[in-house]
Structure 1
């Protein structure tokens, strides 16, 4: 019985053996072709280059011999200097390689010379006389050989900053077997390469004269560079001197498939075709399956990486077997730190780890899990907590077996934040609506209360007038009856005047509140700070007597008048004073005192410059109580509209007080008092000399 696994292993081994055979054949074919082609083509190129170098040397030697024959013809017969000069000039126009031609006598004195018309004189800088010794040695050698002799090459600098490598050839002039003089020719080595070597040979190669040690003397063409350079060298043996002709070429790089290897290529190609045919059927199916599988895996990977929902898979033991990038980013932990992790998970808050572990054990013990989601709290790597929504479902494999659980996790922290912002916005809208309603009520009350207050003021004034008339009428009677009725009438008059003053003050307060709500321009005037306290002291004293509070006043007489809306600032002082007295009363009763002692309840009203010097631009007003103080939680919302700690309060007093002070350009704040209590203080701008009268602000 053959198992599928064994069949797969056999098929894989057969496929690998076919691949190994194909690789061996391809490597053997390519290696053989490259080796044979390289050897063959290299030998062919080198042979061709050697042949060209030999022909180049032959061309140079032929050209030099031709020049010697021409020179001998030039010196034959009787020549006058004029005729010699004309013939020599024609010779130099035909022979570009000759730089200078000289006619010397037997003592080497120059009888005449001609220079090439194609360039300036090569001896222009150093002169010909500096080389007289070398010419003498060359001509001595020529006389001894009874033929042409060549000197060693030498370098002649030119005016263009460059130079020229030249050599001399000396030919004896014999007439009837007797030496009558010498012909001296100066050759340019570079022009010898360009003029004496055939054009076909010099095309596409680098041709140069070198010495025996490899020193390059002259170059024709571009020198070849690189690793595949073919070089051929031939000796140019001249009487008195020997030069090396060097030829370099990069042409003729070996071909990969020369014709001589056609039979070998054909045989190996047939073997390759046979092997490829055997592999084609197997490879076609495997490639199709791999392509489909790769596309499926790539699609699933792209889908898992792009989804914003965190995905987590657990096995039956609760170990994490898979997490997607969204989940790793959500909890701030790398996938390698999460895989194969059991309980407790790294993203569980330590304080909730026990509860979560019990919950997971209960879920894993059941055969099925509810598919509806449940909320939980996870922890990031930095310790921050965030709410999540978890939806879990059983993980079933391809054969229908339950292998674990799959979870989809959503980070709902942003949703909770949006809900909180929406809730706060709703609260602000409600507060705004309540403020608008309060403004409307204030406007309505100010309109409705003006008439009753005016009536109270009128009745009080009328009562005072009646009492005054009664006192004038009863004065004789009071003298006979007794002095008791006169003080009674004075007390009634004082009370009625107080009633009229407070009714008028209430009218002003209502008018200021009405202007404040309607955002109208308020009239400000320069007021003495002490006058602001004196205006509210009757009401403060009345409530202090009722609550058993002692009122202390500290006024720095150096304070300058303040520029303010008098009525509104008096209300601020009155409101802060009432709050301080109520705070001390509440603190005393909470401590268990049946009747709080006035010594324990002191309200201090203080006025002083806001800076250390008396010339400060600001005046500070403060109200200090001896209550229990303000807690941190209450301090955060103390000036928030509609926030209050009193059962009967509306939560608008301190908010309106701060608004009034800020409209004056000042600041209202508070700080704890020592040893206990709270100090509320605010600042008002000092009046300038030109602010003596009231003006609108």
Structure 2
């Protein structure tokens, strides 16, 4: 879809881009000029400061040299110490940087000394004797150099709580090639900076003596602080000592512009502003209109991009002219791949493309398209299908002409998923209700059937007792006795066995019902140690009866190494019985195998196997397996085999295997199945071994989780 003023907005944005580029270039040029001028001025200030630092070092060296010449003139004539004192004191009044002047003999014995008149004695607090070693070393160096030598600086604390950094100078006095003594002068480093440096050089800067590592020894002037401090350092190399002269200054910080550049930039700025003003006055109205239009289009575009409903516009020929981002995200196809596309659309499923094309031709042939929605199925780029709800309406332009069709598409897959979840939830609720009903029925049946079963057991026992009582008189009467009557027929042993079986099975049915009742009521089941073979023997009469009826041969395999298991005997017997019946029924639908290999009767074999669950004979679990030779379990049935109320039998309720698994899991075991070879299914479960402890049966549960897996 093309909008009327879209090109105007594009040109406006391009013009603004050009103006922005021009302004950026001008600002960049001005910034570069300012930066270059600043760098130039900074380099000039730094060069000037370096030159001043060099001049400072020269002034200090020249002043110290002049002092040496003065010392030599003072000692040029021989005079006693008393006569030496007056000219020496005069010399100290002229040179404030000298704190103390000493005349020493060739053995460094002090012959006389003079203190500066401008302050108290430097050595008043600590005395001079503590520095004799440094003086001896300095004079030795001076003697070796045949000239003046300087000691390293040292700090002298004063009585006022402050201190002073000083150094000694030793000058040998030689007359006619013979050493006559030494002149030792003590300099104040701070006063050297104040007295020997020219006033012009020291004005407005901070002068200091530092060591090589930057430690400040003496300072003259004000220390400059801030980010635009210029620093220059020069070495003052003296015989026997080397100091660093540091000069810091904030003077000479460059102005914003140099004079020539200021005039040039000002002229360019005035010209640029004039041109911009003229152009802005001419374009103000036009830009205002374009700005309003751009805001309207941006607002509409923002609304279209923010909606979750897919929007699609088509012309009268069915070609797509516009799609919003929601529609592109819905079908997983970019807008450039959808625009100008006709039938078949990329998001149509191939199997439905012909039907969709025919339906579109019918719907677009009429001018009055109904506005109600209709459902359809779209396809994403990865091939997945999803349901959509489509609502279409005619697209009318500004002059009232019908130019196409506008569609709103809603993805209803989430709605369908929620409906499916609701249906599944309803099914689960119904299943829960059915389970509750089954529990109630089990409780009711257990209560109602206990009395008839007890009556059956009582009648069977009574009948057996009556039959045995009738047999006794007949057996005791003599055949030829005088009062012998008709001989009673002997009671058949098979009839006695049948009556006993009736009593046993009635009692067993009562126990089963009681166990089911306790299981439903979640009561604690009574567990006892039972031999695994005894569990099979208890159900074999019923299994054998059904096996003869169905034509199945039952094979029992019991490993002698199996120990007694701890279980609820009645419930486990029911599990074995249920699995055995399922196995025999699974072989009924199987067709006979090849007659040349074996008869059909031999193919229907049910194997009941008991063995330790592990490879060794001391496993803590015993495995029970029921193996049939049926057709096996299909994959789609295996996924929900243990689901309550799921059954493949027409008369089944779908609760047998589910209850069997619950019973085994309550014993701590595991019930599962696998395919048998060459055919059939193996249902197996595990029960814990009962271990004797202090005369009681208990379960060693240390390896429950590992061996069960």
Q: Same fold (TM over 0.5)?
A: yes
Task: Show the 5 A alignment for 1:179-194.
Answer: 194=194
The answer on 1:374 being equivalent to 2:375 is yes
What SS does structure 1 have at the residue aligned with 2:687? Answer: strand
Question: Does the 8 Å CA contact 1:668/1:682 hold for their aligned counterparts?
Answer: yes
Aligned to 2:664: 661
Q: In the superposition, relative to structure 1, how do residues 581 and 167 fare at CA in structure 2: closer, same or farther (>3 Å)?
A: same
Residue by residue over 1:427-458, the C-alpha shift from the partner in whole angstroms, topping out at 9 and shown as x without a partner, is 11111110110111111111111222222222
> Mean Cα displacement is larger for which, 475-484 or 293-302?
475-484
Q: Which has the higher contact order (CA 8 A, sep 6+)?
A: 1
In 1, the alpha carbon distance for the partners of 2:140 and 2:469 equals 157
Residue by residue over 1:295-335, the C-alpha shift from the partner in whole angstroms, topping out at 9 and shown as x without a partner, is 44554454445444444555666666655554555555566
Q: In the superposition, relative to structure 1, how do residues 668 and 78 fare at CA in structure 2: closer, same or farther (>3 Å)?
A: closer
Aligned to 1:88: 88
- 2:553 is aligned, of 528, 550, 553, to 550
Question: Does the 8 Å CA contact 1:526/1:692 hold for their aligned counterparts?
Answer: no
Aligned to 2:575: 572
After TM superposition, give the deviation of residue 348 of structure 1 in Å: 5.6
Question: Does the 8 Å CA contact 1:393/1:406 hold for their aligned counterparts?
Answer: yes
Task: Work out the number of aligned pairs and report it.
Answer: 630
Q: In the superposition, relative to structure 1, how do residues 684 and 103 fare at CA in structure 2: closer, same or farther (>3 Å)?
A: closer
What SS does structure 2 have at the residue aligned with 1:606? Answer: strand
- 1:624 is aligned, of 590, 615, 627, to 627
Output the aligned Cα RMSD: 6.4
In 2, the alpha carbon distance for the partners of 1:490 and 1:622 equals 35
The answer on 1:670 being equivalent to 2:664 is no
What SS does structure 2 have at the residue aligned with 1:644? Answer: coil
Aligned to 1:234: none
Superposition TM-score, scaled by structure 2 size: 0.66
Question: Does the 8 Å CA contact 2:474/2:488 hold for their aligned counterparts?
Answer: no
Aligned to 2:444: 444
Aligned to 2:502: 499
Question: Does the 8 Å CA contact 2:592/2:603 hold for their aligned counterparts?
Answer: no
Q: In the superposition, relative to structure 1, how do residues 402 and 124 fare at CA in structure 2: closer, same or farther (>3 Å)?
A: farther
Question: Does the 8 Å CA contact 2:314/2:322 hold for their aligned counterparts?
Answer: yes
What SS does structure 2 have at the residue aligned with 1:508? Answer: helix
After TM superposition, give the deviation of residue 254 of structure 1 in Å: 6.8
Task: Show the 5 A alignment for 1:588-599.
Answer: 588=591, 597-599=600-602
Aligned to 2:534: 531
Aligned to 1:238: none
After TM superposition, give the deviation of residue 259 of structure 1 in Å: 11
Question: Does the 8 Å CA contact 1:157/1:163 hold for their aligned counterparts?
Answer: no
Residue by residue over 1:618-668, the C-alpha shift from the partner in whole angstroms, topping out at 9 and shown as x without a partner, is 222222222212111111111111111111111111111222222222222
The answer on 1:465 being equivalent to 2:468 is no
What SS does structure 2 have at the residue aligned with 1:587? Answer: coil
Q: In the superposition, relative to structure 1, how do residues 671 and 269 fare at CA in structure 2: closer, same or farther (>3 Å)?
A: closer
Question: Does the 8 Å CA contact 2:691/2:697 hold for their aligned counterparts?
Answer: no
Q: Which runs of 5+ in 1 are unaligned?
A: 105-109, 137-153, 171-182, 209-217, 232-245
Question: Does the 8 Å CA contact 2:168/2:184 hold for their aligned counterparts?
Answer: no
Aligned to 1:687: 690
Aligned to 1:587: 590
Task: Show the 5 A alignment for 1:610-621.
Answer: 610-621=613-624
Q: In the superposition, relative to structure 1, how do residues 669 and 299 fare at CA in structure 2: closer, same or farther (>3 Å)?
A: same
Question: Does the 8 Å CA contact 2:138/2:149 hold for their aligned counterparts?
Answer: no
In 2, the alpha carbon distance for the partners of 1:226 and 1:566 equals 94
In 2, the alpha carbon distance for the partners of 1:423 and 1:633 equals 21
Aligned to 2:455: 455
In 2, the alpha carbon distance for the partners of 1:502 and 1:655 equals 25
In 2, the alpha carbon distance for the partners of 1:482 and 1:541 equals 43
Q: Which runs of 5+ in 2 are unaligned?
A: 105-109, 156-164, 174-182, 209-217, 233-245, 700-709
Task: Show the 5 A alignment for 1:310-329.
Answer: 310-312=310-312, 324-327=324-327, 329=329
> Mean Cα displacement is larger for which, 447-456 or 529-538?
529-538
In 2, the alpha carbon distance for the partners of 1:693 and 1:399 equals 99
Task: Show the 5 A alignment for 1:212-611.
Answer: 251=251, 278-279=278-279, 281-282=281-282, 284-286=284-286, 288-289=288-289, 291-312=291-312, 324-327=324-327, 329-331=329-331, 370-371=370-371, 372-381=373-382, 384-400=384-400, 406-475=406-475, 486=489, 489-588=492-591, 597-611=600-614
After TM superposition, give the deviation of residue 582 of structure 1 in Å: 1.7
In 2, the alpha carbon distance for the partners of 1:367 and 1:599 equals 77
After TM superposition, give the deviation of residue 503 of structure 1 in Å: 1.9
After TM superposition, give the deviation of residue 287 of structure 1 in Å: 5.2
Q: In the superposition, relative to structure 1, how do residues 402 and 202 fare at CA in structure 2: closer, same or farther (>3 Å)?
A: farther
After TM superposition, give the deviation of residue 508 of structure 1 in Å: 1.8
> Mean Cα displacement is larger for which, 218-227 or 440-449?
218-227
In 2, the alpha carbon distance for the partners of 1:103 and 1:559 equals 119
The answer on 1:159 being equivalent to 2:159 is no
Q: In the superposition, relative to structure 1, how do residues 342 and 132 fare at CA in structure 2: closer, same or farther (>3 Å)?
A: farther
Superposition TM-score, scaled by structure 1 size: 0.67
After TM superposition, give the deviation of residue 568 of structure 1 in Å: 1.7
Q: In the superposition, relative to structure 1, how do residues 230 and 458 fare at CA in structure 2: closer, same or farther (>3 Å)?
A: closer
